[in-house]
Structure formats: C-alpha cells, structure tokens
Amino acid sequence: MTSRFTQWTLDVDDVRRQAAFWSAALGYEIEYGPDGDAHLLPPDGGLTVWLQPSAAGKSAKNRNHPDLVATDGDVSAEVARLLALGATRADVGQTGDEPFTVLADPEGNEFCLLHRH
C-alpha cells in the first residue's frame, strides 16, 4: 500500500484574493466553504488546492512549494500571464542558470515555473 498526493493546502490571509489568483493561474473552479475557506477544483479531477484562512503571516521562504509548467510550452508568455494576475518575481538565492523561474503569489508564497513542458 502507498500514499499519493491529492491536495495542496495553503494557509492564507485573504482567501478570496488568493482563490482568484490560484484559480486563474491553474484554470481551476472555486468552491467556497462555510468556514471562510476555498477549495479549488481542477477540470480533470487531478490535484486539488485548499486555501484555509490563517491569522499567521508568512515570515520566511516556504519550506515547500508547487512547481508549475506552461501547458503550451511558452514559458515567457506564461511568466508574463502570471505576473499580470498578481504574481511577483522572487529571489530565493537562485543564480540565473536554473531551469525554472521563481515567482510568488500575491501573499508572497513562492512557486516555480519550470522551463520544460
């Protein structure tokens, strides 16, 4: 018997703002819960995202983060799209030779866009 990933859970300050960003970034539908949380559901039944409200702010680099890929392979266009949605470029000590671009969501949670399809 083994385990598998089914959901990525993220503590956030502003659930609606983060739900808008991540649902647009991933193409997921938003389902708001009765406790102020939001469940983001993929169209294909894959990995879900759960955004739960938290009063604790982000204080350091994430110890884990999601890695994304541009579904059409156009990394530059996808970086531009994510920046237009509210992402920012993040410096976590990369040298510039990495096969990924480090970004952060509107609350500063880092994620990577891999330079492969």
Mean per-residue pLDDT over the chain, rounded: 92
The per-residue pLDDT for 59 is: 78
* Residue 114 and residue 99 in contact, taking contact as beta carbons nearer than 8 Å: yes
pLDDT in tens, 39-64: 999 998 889 999 999 988 777 787 78
- Bridge partners, residue 53, by sequence: 12
Domains of the chain: 1-55 (3.10.180.10), 65-117 (3.10.180.10)
The per-residue pLDDT for 113 is: 94
- Bridge partners, residue 35, by sequence: none
